[in-house]
Amino acid sequence: MTAPPAGHRPASAIHLQGAVVTAPTAHADVTILHPTSLTLRERRIAVIGGNGSGKSTLARLVNGLVEPSAGSVNIELQGDDGTRSLDTLRDGAAVRRAVGFVFTDPAAQLIMPTAVEDVSLSLRRSHRDPGARRAAALAALDRFGLQPLADRSVHTLSGGQKQLLAIASVLATDPAILVADEPTTLLDLRNARMISRLLMSLPQQVIVVTHDLELAAQADRALVVDDGRIVFDGDAPAAVAHYRSTVAP
């Protein structure tokens, strides 16, 4: 695989102001994420924590897959025409175009029969002409070394190829921000390292939820989540050390 060259996109920022997520139960609402206020501007941000800690909920707030029960989540985008602010509740569709999301299991995203058809599906809004759309999809596959697999059934791809295809499909629309929710969990060591290198090389702002502490330590900033609260926020190696010593002794 030839990874995309590293570069810089116009700065983006994510603002959470008193964001809370609750879920109803038979007896009372359960708080999944307690009031959280953050501004995330760094290019590489890791989110770590145990299963059920609330880290995936935090990540899904960023692109509106989960809506805050209280408070707000805003995406600030810098462009040639100035600064644009999107609210995940008010501007849900625009937020999801600006913030790409990669799931743990690529099967949750790969819904078309072949690789090129799956990427083409992502491009249906920006490329109305079928021929131009296929050409753009092939170019997106080529960027990630996947063009030889363009007409292969997605069901015949390896785990690493599927995850790479899922990322390619999301990045084909050129989002400003990419959120990846445990993207290496289902992969073997070789493919996990390949996906990790790719995520660290992208020009987009990247937020990665991960149990891979080696990957987390490469970030510019890391958040440790425990019991629905941010218990550490700062330098990534220090966050990993904090997690090892206090949350996962």
Positive/negative CA dihedral, 100, 172, 154, 110: positive
pLDDT digits (tens, 9 = 90+) for 172-187: 999 999 999 999 999 9
Q: How many angstroms separate the first and last alpha carbons of the chain?
A: 37
**Is residue 169 predicted with pLDDT exceeding 60?**
yes
pLDDT classification of 82: cutoffs 50, 70, 90: confident
Q: Radius of gyration (Cα) for the chain, nearest Å?
A: 18
Q: Say how far apart CA 220 and CA 234 lie, in whole Å.
A: 9
Residue 7 lies in a domain: no
Residue 216 lies in a domain: yes
Domain that holds residue 196: 12-247
pLDDT digits (tens, 9 = 90+) for 207-230: 999 999 999 999 999 999 999 999
Residue 4 lies in a domain: no
**Is residue 247 predicted with pLDDT exceeding 90?**
no
Residue 143 lies in a domain: yes
Q: Say how far apart CA 14 and CA 98 lie, in whole Å.
A: 11
Residue 6 lies in a domain: no
Percentage of the residues of the chain whose pLDDT score is greater than 70: 94
CATH number of the domain enclosing 33:
3.40.50.300
Q: Note the pTM of the prediction, 2 decimals.
A: 0.91
Residue 3 lies in a domain: no
Structure tokens at 56: 């995936």
Mean pLDDT of the region 230-245: 96
Highest mean pLDDT among 2-11, 67-76, 104-113: 67-76
Of 62, 9, 14, residue with least CA distance to 41: 14
Overall domain count for the chain: 1
pLDDT digits (tens, 9 = 90+) for 127-155: 989 999 999 999 999 999 999 999 999 99
Residue 1 lies in a domain: no
Question: Residue 167 burial by CB count (10 A; 0-12/13-18/19+): exposed, middle or buried?
Answer: buried
Percentage of the residues of the chain whose pLDDT score is greater than 90: 84
* Mean pLDDT of all residues belonging to the chain: 92
pLDDT classification of 10: cutoffs 50, 70, 90: low
Residue with tokens 């102001």: 17
